[in-house]
């Protein structure tokens, strides 16, 4: 007996195959979701600032206390993340990672200078280079611990200047000493160079520290040629083992810091969730469960009287549950119903946690006639103006003045930062949508005044 297969296979399969290979219009219109990067790879590519994404997509199993192999737990910690999610507090904390290479440089350069003196190096150039290295690294430490906001462009330029200074110092020292003292003298800028590799690895990513390591090989060859007049390829690989060790150590420290931060966050979230569950369980046990158990107890006597008692107990319990729910809603509503002055005070505290110190100057206001919607519009617009100061003004201080003006309430946010040209406003200020439009929707208006070098003044006005 002959078996016949359905005829829909051959021709249709060939047609589908041709369409797929040709990349038909239908297939091109399909939008596949972008592949998400893992936390570990993001950390290695972007350096310590990537730790600000550690709160993204935390797997509940990371903090699971059940016994599990270390590799499996690490795989969970290095899972996919959303790189657009960044925690401001973590981002500010990552700056302190760079303090370790700077401290290493200060100690190592001074130690190398003492060792060079013991070997008979008396070149004033070596001393000047060592002093400059120490001074610049101390200045770097002070810059890191300052309270002003960080700007990524400034950080990048400072790192570029740091690398340029290190390379120039290396060649200048090499040219100033004879070949017999080369090995001892070159250790002074050499320690600066090693610290630079660790600094780039931690601050920008492994690829940048590796690039400086590769660049140091021909740098050493040129330095030996300047000192001895002889070009020796072997000289380029003299300290290769030490440099590899520094880059690998910095990479390991970066990975441990990142994974440790992610693990600590997962444990904190888990414990917070468990604490909230325990609080809810206690509330249920002390109220609803106790009432249900009372209702389940056997009773004797008149059925009508028993029914009335049960109804009374149920009514009392319903009232208590309603009070608990309304209390939670009331706490949330109280936050929104606070006067404008208290809202702005809370906003100043919020911005202080993000790194902006706001001095709030309040006049006596009659806020009773200002609706809640308009108060919230002023608060949210003020928040955006203060965040613009934090991101763009290059200062960490702002003055917020609140007063009655022209039949309404005016909030003036003033900083003495870099300012900007209003005719060429940089992108990302959010003035049109986040400030002006928000106030206009509530019936108010906003005025932004700024000029380069004179700071920025934002006036928010809302009628009563």
b/e sequence 229-250, b meaning 16+ C-beta within 10 Å: eeeeeebbebbeeebeebbeeb
Helix (H, G, I), strand (E, B) or coil at 442: coil
What confidence tens digit (pLDDT) does each residue in 115-139 have?
999 999 999 999 999 999 999 999 9
Tell me the C-alpha distance between 436 and 188, whole Å.
Answer: 56
Question: Dihedral of the CA atoms 101, 104, 105, 109 (nearest 10)?
Answer: -170
Task: Tell whether the torsion through CA atoms of 366, 447, 154 and 261 is positive or negative.
Answer: positive
Choose among 345, 420, 344: nearest CA to 382. 344
What torsion do the CA atoms of 382, 403, 331, 265 make, to the nearest 10 degrees?
30
> Which of 444, 295, 282 minimizes the C-alpha distance to 373?
444
pLDDT of the residue at 24: 43
Note the pLDDT of residue 27: 42
Q: Residue 205: exposed, middle, or buried by beta-carbon count in 10 A (0-12, 13-18, 19+)?
A: buried
The DSSP H or E segment spanning 134 is helix 124-144
Residue 378 · residue 411 · CB < 8 Å: yes
The first and second tokens of residue 454, run together, are 């004179």
Q: Which residues contact 249 (CB under 8 A, 6 or more apart)?
A: 198
Q: Quickly count: other Cβ atoms within 10 Å of residue 277's Cβ.
A: 10
> What does the DSSP 8-state code read for residue 35?
P
pLDDT of residue 80: 79
The answer on pLDDT for 298 being more than 70 is yes
pLDDT, position 153: 74
Domains of the chain listed by start with CATH number: 34-279 (no CATH), 280-296+303-337 (no CATH), 340-463 (3.30.565.10)
The pLDDT of residue 106 is above 70: yes
Per residue in 48-60, pLDDT tens?
Answer: 888 888 777 777 7
The per-residue b/e assignment along 385-394, b for 16 or more CB within 10 angstroms, e otherwise, is bbbbbbebbb
8 A C-beta contact, residue 78 and residue 259? yes
pLDDT tens for residues 4-46? 444 444 444 444 444 434 444 444 444 444 556 788 888 999 9
pLDDT digits (tens, 9 = 90+) for 223-278: 999 999 999 999 999 999 999 999 999 999 999 998 888 888 888 888 888 877 87
Please, which residues have CB within 8 angstroms of residue 45's CB and are 6 or more apart in sequence? 205, 206, 207
Please check the confidence at residue 164 and state whether its pLDDT lies above 80: yes
The pLDDT score that the predictor gives to residue 182 is: 94
Q: Smallest Cα–Cα separation from 461: which of 390, 399, 382, 383?
A: 382
Distance CA 2, CA 387 (A): 78
pLDDT digits (tens, 9 = 90+) for 305-351: 778 877 877 777 777 777 767 766 665 565 556 788 888 888 888 88
State the chain's mean pLDDT as an integer.
81
To which residue do tokens 């380069």 refer? 452
pLDDT value, residue 423 = 65
At 144, which helix (H) or strand (E)? helix 124-144
CA distance 52 to 440: 34
Model's pTM, two decimal places? 0.63
The predicted structure's pLDDT at residue 23:
45
Q: Whole-angstrom Cα distance, residue 148 to residue 171? A: 35
Span 173-215, pLDDT tens digits: 999 999 999 999 999 999 999 999 999 999 999 999 999 999 9
Whether the pLDDT of residue 446 is over 60: the answer is: yes
Give the integer Cα–Cα distance in Å for 325 and 284: 12
CA distances from 199 to 105, 162, 245 (A): 10, 10, 14
Q: Please return the burial class of 401, using the count of CB atoms within 10 Å of its CB with bins 0-12, 13-18 and 19+.
A: middle
DSSP code at position 80:
B
Confidence (pLDDT) at 29: 47
């Amino acid at each position: 007996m002959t078996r016949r297969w359905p005829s829909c296979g051959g021709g249709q399969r060939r047609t589908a195959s041709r369409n797929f290979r040709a990349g038909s219009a239908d297939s091109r219109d399909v939008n596949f979701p972008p592949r998400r990067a893992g936390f570990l790879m993001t950390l290695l590519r972007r350096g310590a600032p990537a730790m600000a994404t550690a709160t993204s997509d935390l797997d509940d199993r990371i903090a699971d206390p059940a016994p599990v192999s270390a590799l499996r737990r690490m795989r969970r910690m290095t899972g996919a993340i959303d790189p657009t999610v960044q925690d401001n507090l973590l981002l500010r904390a990552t700056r302190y990672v760079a303090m370790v290479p700077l401290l290493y440089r200060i100690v190592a350069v001074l130690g190398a200078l003492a060792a060079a003196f013991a070997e008979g190096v008396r070149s004033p150039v070596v001393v000047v280079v060592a002093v400059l290295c120490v001074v610049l690294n101390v200045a770097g430490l002070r810059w890191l611990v300052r309270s002003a906001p960080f700007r990524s462009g400034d950080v990048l330029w400072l790192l570029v200047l740091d690398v340029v200074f290190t390379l120039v110092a290396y060649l200048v020292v090499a040219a100033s000493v004879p070949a017999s003292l080369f090995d001892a003298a070159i250790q002074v800028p050499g320690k600066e160079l090693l610290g630079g590799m660790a600094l780039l690895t931690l601050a920008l990513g492994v690829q940048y520290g590796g690039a400086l390591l590769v660049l140091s090989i021909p740098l050493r060859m040129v330095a030996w040629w300047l000192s001895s007049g002889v070009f020796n390829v072997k000289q380029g690989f003299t300290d290769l083992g030490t440099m590899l060790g520094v880059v690998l150590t910095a990479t390991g420290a970066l990975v441990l810091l990142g994974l440790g931060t992610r693990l600590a966050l997962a444990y904190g979230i888990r414990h917070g969730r468990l604490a909230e569950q325990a609080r809810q369980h206690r509330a249920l046990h002390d109220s609803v469960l106790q009432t249900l158990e009372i209702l389940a107890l056997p009773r004797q006597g008149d059925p009508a009287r028993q029914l009335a008692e049960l109804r009374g107990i149920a009514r009392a319990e319903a009232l208590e549950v309603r009070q608990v729910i309304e209390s939670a809603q009331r706490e949330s509503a109280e936050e929104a119903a606070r006067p404008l002055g208290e809202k702005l005070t809370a906003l100043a505290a919020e911005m202080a946690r993000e790194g902006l110190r706001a001095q709030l100057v309040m006049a006596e206001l009659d806020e009773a006639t200002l609706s809640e919607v308009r108060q919230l519009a002023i608060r949210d617009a003020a928040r955006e103006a203060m965040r613009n100061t934090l991101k763009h003004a290059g200062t960490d201080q702002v003055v917020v003045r609140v007063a009655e003006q022209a039949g309404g309430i005016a909030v003036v946010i003033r900083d003495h930062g870099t300012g900007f040209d209003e005719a060429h406003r940089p992108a990302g200020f959010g003035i049109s949508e986040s400030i002006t439009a928000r106030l206009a929707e509530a019936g108010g208006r906003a005025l932004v005044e700024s000029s380069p070098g004179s700071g920025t003044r934002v006036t928010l006005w809302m009628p009563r």
